[in-house]
Amino acid sequence: MIDLEIFRQMGSISRRATKEMNQAASQYQLENNLFLYLIRIVEHEGLTQSDLADLIQVDKTTLSRALTKLDRRGYIDKVADAKNKNYKQLYPTQKARDNYQVLAALEQKYIKDRLSALSASELKQLKQLLAKILHT
């Protein structure tokens, strides 16, 4: 039997985290998950749009719109790949690097607050179970 409640709870957790992080990041004009893209670009400097889409598990159209907003707001630079001009590599601007510290701290605090009730062994087990679900 399929346990719908587990997946509904996972969805609720995801939506809640996204909502709260979007609220915190809105003061930097990084609402609607823009903070998520920006954090990954800073952490994986030079990755392509396709790589970022795979990393975040988002469709390329949604990603393209988000990257256009980040570019217009001065957070990223798109640079044509030396080998293939059709591929754009993504680099954070200084503005992105400056805001990354604050955003990463917000993300870390959120995670710490939500997972604080779990023991080390429970965290390990949760990580293993989620990885198993993700890769099934």
The answer as to whether 51 is a domain residue is yes
Write down the pTM of the prediction: 0.85
Q: Tokens 């719109």 sit at which residue?
A: 65
Q: What is the pLDDT along the chain (136 residues), one digit of tens a residue?
A: 568 898 899 999 999 999 999 998 999 899 889 999 999 999 999 999 999 999 999 998 999 999 999 999 999 999 987 787 778 899 999 999 999 999 999 999 999 999 999 999 999 999 999 999 888 8
At 78, is the secondary structure helix, strand, or coil?
Answer: strand
Q: Domain range holding 94?
A: 8-113
Residue-by-residue DSSP string for 79-136: EE-SS-TTSEEEEE-HHHHHHHHHHHHHHHHHHHHHHTTS-HHHHHHHHHHHHHHHT-
The answer as to whether 126 is a domain residue is no
Residue 62: exposure state from Cβ atoms within 10 A (0-12, 13-18, ≥19)? middle
| Whole-number Cα distances in Å, 8 to 5, 48, 75, 135, 136 | 5, 32, 34, 19, 18
The answer as to whether 2 is a domain residue is no
The answer as to whether 108 is a domain residue is yes
| CATH number where 44 lies | 1.10.10.10
The answer as to whether 121 is a domain residue is no
The answer as to whether 129 is a domain residue is no
The number of folded domains in the chain is 1
The answer as to whether 75 is a domain residue is yes
Dmax (CA) for the chain in angstroms is 51
